[in-house]
Structure 1
Protein backbone atom coordinates (compact mmCIF):
# COMPACT_ATOMS: atom_id res chain seq x y z
CA UNK A 1 0.00 0.00 0.00
CA UNK A 2 2.96 2.29 0.64
CA UNK A 3 3.96 2.08 -3.04
CA UNK A 4 0.48 3.09 -4.21
CA UNK A 5 0.37 6.02 -1.80
CA UNK A 6 3.77 7.20 -2.98
CA UNK A 7 2.84 6.88 -6.65
CA UNK A 8 -0.36 8.77 -5.97
CA UNK A 9 1.60 11.63 -4.39
CA UNK A 10 4.08 11.71 -7.25
CA UNK A 11 1.26 11.81 -9.80
CA UNK A 12 -0.55 14.52 -7.81
CA UNK A 13 2.57 16.69 -7.95
CA UNK A 14 2.87 16.03 -11.67
CA UNK A 15 -0.78 17.00 -12.14
CA UNK A 16 -0.31 20.18 -10.11
CA UNK A 17 2.69 21.00 -12.32
CA UNK A 18 0.70 20.39 -15.50
CA UNK A 19 -2.19 22.55 -14.28
CA UNK A 20 0.19 25.28 -13.10
CA UNK A 21 2.01 25.41 -16.43
CA UNK A 22 -1.27 25.47 -18.32
CA UNK A 23 -2.79 28.25 -16.19
CA UNK A 24 0.37 30.37 -16.09
CA UNK A 25 1.18 29.62 -19.76
CA UNK A 26 4.82 28.91 -18.93
CA UNK A 27 7.11 27.24 -21.44
CA UNK A 28 8.24 24.63 -18.93
CA UNK A 29 7.13 20.99 -18.93
CA UNK A 30 4.49 20.34 -16.28
CA UNK A 31 6.37 17.43 -14.70
CA UNK A 32 9.40 19.71 -14.18
CA UNK A 33 7.29 22.24 -12.28
CA UNK A 34 5.75 19.40 -10.29
CA UNK A 35 9.21 18.07 -9.45
CA UNK A 36 10.31 21.52 -8.26
CA UNK A 37 7.20 21.77 -6.07
CA UNK A 38 7.87 18.29 -4.67
CA UNK A 39 11.48 19.29 -3.93
CA UNK A 40 10.32 22.43 -2.11
CA UNK A 41 7.84 20.36 -0.11
CA UNK A 42 10.58 17.92 0.88
CA UNK A 43 12.80 20.83 1.93
CA UNK A 44 10.04 22.27 4.12
CA UNK A 45 9.28 18.85 5.63
CA UNK A 46 13.00 18.15 6.07
CA UNK A 47 12.60 14.58 4.93
CA UNK A 48 10.99 12.12 2.57
CA UNK A 49 7.81 10.26 3.47
CA UNK A 50 8.17 6.48 3.50
CA UNK A 51 5.58 6.05 0.76
CA UNK A 52 7.36 8.45 -1.60
CA UNK A 53 10.68 6.78 -0.79
CA UNK A 54 9.23 3.35 -1.62
CA UNK A 55 7.67 4.55 -4.88
CA UNK A 56 10.76 6.44 -6.01
CA UNK A 57 13.05 3.47 -5.36
CA UNK A 58 10.69 1.21 -7.33
CA UNK A 59 10.68 3.67 -10.24
CA UNK A 60 14.46 4.04 -10.18
CA UNK A 61 14.95 0.28 -10.20
CA UNK A 62 13.03 0.14 -13.50
CA UNK A 63 14.45 3.36 -14.95
CA UNK A 64 15.66 1.67 -18.13
CA UNK A 65 12.03 0.98 -19.14
CA UNK A 66 11.37 4.71 -19.20
CA UNK A 67 13.81 5.06 -22.12
CA UNK A 68 11.77 2.78 -24.40
CA UNK A 69 9.44 5.60 -25.61
CA UNK A 70 12.47 7.74 -26.49
CA UNK A 71 13.92 4.87 -28.52
CA UNK A 72 10.63 4.40 -30.34
CA UNK A 73 10.52 8.13 -31.06
CA UNK A 74 13.98 7.95 -32.57
CA UNK A 75 12.86 5.18 -34.91
CA UNK A 76 9.74 7.12 -35.93
CA UNK A 77 11.80 10.21 -36.80
CA UNK A 78 14.87 8.36 -38.11
CA UNK A 79 14.65 10.00 -41.53
CA UNK A 80 14.66 13.48 -40.00
CA UNK A 81 17.55 12.53 -37.73
CA UNK A 82 19.52 11.48 -40.83
CA UNK A 83 18.83 14.83 -42.47
CA UNK A 84 19.75 16.94 -39.44
CA UNK A 85 22.51 14.88 -37.86
CA UNK A 86 25.07 17.70 -37.77
CA UNK A 87 23.12 20.19 -35.60
CA UNK A 88 21.94 17.33 -33.38
CA UNK A 89 25.49 16.03 -32.91
CA UNK A 90 26.79 19.55 -32.25
CA UNK A 91 24.08 20.18 -29.66
CA UNK A 92 24.80 16.86 -27.95
CA UNK A 93 28.55 17.42 -27.83
CA UNK A 94 28.33 21.05 -26.71
CA UNK A 95 25.62 20.23 -24.17
CA UNK A 96 27.72 17.42 -22.73
CA UNK A 97 30.84 19.61 -22.51
CA UNK A 98 28.95 22.48 -20.88
CA UNK A 99 27.34 20.09 -18.41
CA UNK A 100 30.69 18.57 -17.49
CA UNK A 101 32.27 22.01 -17.07
CA UNK A 102 29.44 23.32 -14.91
CA UNK A 103 29.45 20.14 -12.80
CA UNK A 104 33.18 20.55 -12.19
CA UNK A 105 32.75 24.21 -11.25
CA UNK A 106 29.88 23.46 -8.87
CA UNK A 107 31.92 20.64 -7.31
CA UNK A 108 34.90 22.94 -6.77
CA UNK A 109 32.72 25.66 -5.30
CA UNK A 110 30.86 23.31 -2.98
CA UNK A 111 34.13 21.69 -1.88
CA UNK A 112 35.53 25.10 -0.95
CA UNK A 113 32.34 26.16 0.82
CA UNK A 114 31.71 22.98 2.77
CA UNK A 115 35.18 21.62 3.49
CA UNK A 116 36.38 22.00 7.07
CA UNK A 117 38.68 24.94 7.59
CA UNK A 118 42.19 23.95 8.65
CA UNK A 119 44.63 26.07 10.56
CA UNK A 120 48.00 25.94 8.78
CA UNK A 121 49.82 27.85 11.56
CA UNK A 122 50.27 24.55 13.39
Structure 2
Protein backbone atom coordinates (compact mmCIF):
# COMPACT_ATOMS: atom_id res chain seq x y z
CA UNK A 1 0.00 0.00 0.00
CA UNK A 2 2.93 2.30 0.78
CA UNK A 3 4.24 1.98 -2.77
CA UNK A 4 0.85 2.76 -4.30
CA UNK A 5 0.59 5.89 -2.17
CA UNK A 6 4.09 7.03 -3.19
CA UNK A 7 3.38 6.30 -6.84
CA UNK A 8 0.11 8.19 -6.53
CA UNK A 9 1.97 11.27 -5.27
CA UNK A 10 4.33 11.14 -8.25
CA UNK A 11 1.42 10.66 -10.64
CA UNK A 12 -0.43 13.60 -9.07
CA UNK A 13 2.56 15.88 -9.59
CA UNK A 14 2.88 14.62 -13.17
CA UNK A 15 -0.81 15.28 -13.78
CA UNK A 16 -0.48 18.81 -12.38
CA UNK A 17 2.41 19.33 -14.80
CA UNK A 18 0.14 18.27 -17.67
CA UNK A 19 -2.52 20.72 -16.51
CA UNK A 20 0.02 23.55 -16.33
CA UNK A 21 1.22 22.73 -19.84
CA UNK A 22 -2.32 23.16 -21.14
CA UNK A 23 -2.92 26.36 -19.16
CA UNK A 24 0.38 28.17 -19.76
CA UNK A 25 0.98 28.91 -23.47
CA UNK A 26 4.73 28.24 -23.49
CA UNK A 27 6.63 25.60 -25.44
CA UNK A 28 7.73 23.80 -22.27
CA UNK A 29 7.09 20.06 -21.90
CA UNK A 30 4.72 18.93 -19.17
CA UNK A 31 7.50 16.83 -17.63
CA UNK A 32 9.50 20.00 -16.93
CA UNK A 33 6.51 21.57 -15.21
CA UNK A 34 6.15 18.39 -13.17
CA UNK A 35 9.82 18.43 -12.17
CA UNK A 36 9.58 22.08 -11.10
CA UNK A 37 6.42 21.34 -9.10
CA UNK A 38 8.14 18.38 -7.42
CA UNK A 39 11.17 20.55 -6.60
CA UNK A 40 8.95 23.25 -5.10
CA UNK A 41 6.95 20.68 -3.12
CA UNK A 42 10.13 19.10 -1.75
CA UNK A 43 11.79 22.44 -0.94
CA UNK A 44 8.72 23.77 0.88
CA UNK A 45 8.36 20.44 2.74
CA UNK A 46 4.87 20.04 1.30
CA UNK A 47 6.13 16.60 0.30
CA UNK A 48 8.94 14.99 2.26
CA UNK A 49 11.48 12.70 0.65
CA UNK A 50 10.02 9.76 2.58
CA UNK A 51 6.71 10.29 0.73
CA UNK A 52 8.30 9.34 -2.62
CA UNK A 53 11.76 7.85 -2.00
CA UNK A 54 11.07 4.12 -2.39
CA UNK A 55 9.12 4.47 -5.63
CA UNK A 56 11.64 7.03 -6.92
CA UNK A 57 14.48 4.56 -6.39
CA UNK A 58 12.46 1.85 -8.14
CA UNK A 59 11.73 4.09 -11.14
CA UNK A 60 15.40 5.01 -11.46
CA UNK A 61 16.38 1.33 -11.32
CA UNK A 62 14.05 0.40 -14.19
CA UNK A 63 14.91 3.46 -16.30
CA UNK A 64 17.23 1.57 -18.71
CA UNK A 65 14.34 -0.71 -19.65
CA UNK A 66 12.39 2.35 -20.81
CA UNK A 67 14.98 3.03 -23.53
CA UNK A 68 14.43 -0.31 -25.27
CA UNK A 69 11.41 0.83 -27.36
CA UNK A 70 13.30 3.94 -28.49
CA UNK A 71 16.31 1.83 -29.51
CA UNK A 72 14.07 -0.55 -31.45
CA UNK A 73 12.47 2.44 -33.18
CA UNK A 74 15.90 3.70 -34.21
CA UNK A 75 16.85 0.28 -35.57
CA UNK A 76 13.61 0.20 -37.50
CA UNK A 77 14.43 3.60 -39.05
CA UNK A 78 18.03 2.72 -39.95
CA UNK A 79 17.58 3.36 -43.69
CA UNK A 80 16.43 6.92 -42.99
CA UNK A 81 19.17 7.59 -40.43
CA UNK A 82 22.04 6.02 -42.38
CA UNK A 83 22.88 9.10 -44.54
CA UNK A 84 22.97 11.45 -41.55
CA UNK A 85 24.70 9.09 -39.11
CA UNK A 86 28.15 10.73 -39.27
CA UNK A 87 26.88 14.29 -38.64
CA UNK A 88 24.77 13.05 -35.73
CA UNK A 89 27.75 11.25 -34.20
CA UNK A 90 29.98 14.33 -34.61
CA UNK A 91 27.34 16.61 -33.08
CA UNK A 92 26.80 14.19 -30.20
CA UNK A 93 30.51 13.88 -29.43
CA UNK A 94 31.16 17.64 -29.67
CA UNK A 95 28.18 18.63 -27.53
CA UNK A 96 29.02 15.95 -24.96
CA UNK A 97 32.55 17.33 -24.65
CA UNK A 98 31.21 20.89 -24.36
CA UNK A 99 28.76 19.88 -21.63
CA UNK A 100 31.48 18.01 -19.73
CA UNK A 101 33.88 20.97 -19.90
CA UNK A 102 31.25 23.52 -18.87
CA UNK A 103 30.02 21.30 -16.03
CA UNK A 104 33.57 20.74 -14.80
CA UNK A 105 34.37 24.46 -14.89
CA UNK A 106 31.19 25.41 -13.05
CA UNK A 107 31.84 22.71 -10.44
CA UNK A 108 35.38 24.02 -9.92
CA UNK A 109 34.01 27.55 -9.60
CA UNK A 110 31.47 26.51 -6.98
CA UNK A 111 34.08 24.52 -5.02
CA UNK A 112 36.49 27.47 -5.07
CA UNK A 113 33.72 29.84 -3.93
CA UNK A 114 32.86 27.52 -1.03
CA UNK A 115 36.54 27.30 -0.04
CA UNK A 116 36.81 31.10 -0.03
CA UNK A 117 33.72 31.37 2.17
CA UNK A 118 35.13 28.82 4.62
CA UNK A 119 38.49 30.62 4.76
CA UNK A 120 36.86 33.94 5.67
Which TM-score bucket, shorter chain as reference? 0.7 to 0.9
Which protein, 1 or 2, shows the higher relative CO under an 8 Å CA cutoff with sep ≥ 6? Answer: 1
Q: Counterpart of 1:16?
A: 16
What SS does the aligned partner of 1:103 have? helix
User: In structure 2, do the counterparts of structure 1 residues 46 and 30 end up closer, same or farther at CA, with 3 Å as the change threshold?
Assistant: closer
**4+ residue stretches of structure 1 with deviation over 4 A?**
none
TM-score by length of 1: 0.83
Q: Counterpart of 1:48?
A: 48
- Structure 2 gap segments, 5+ residues each: none
Q: Counterpart of 1:117?
A: 118
Matches within 5 A, 1:15-34: 15-34=15-34
Tell me, yes or no, if the aligned pair for 1:18 and 1:31 is still in contact at 8 Å. Answer: yes
TM-superposed deviation, 1:45: 1.1
Tell me, yes or no, if the aligned pair for 1:2 and 1:55 is still in contact at 8 Å. Answer: no
User: In structure 2, do the counterparts of structure 1 residues 60 and 89 end up closer, same or farther at CA, with 3 Å as the change threshold?
Assistant: same
Take 1:66 and 1:26, find their aligned partners in 2: how far apart are those partners? 27
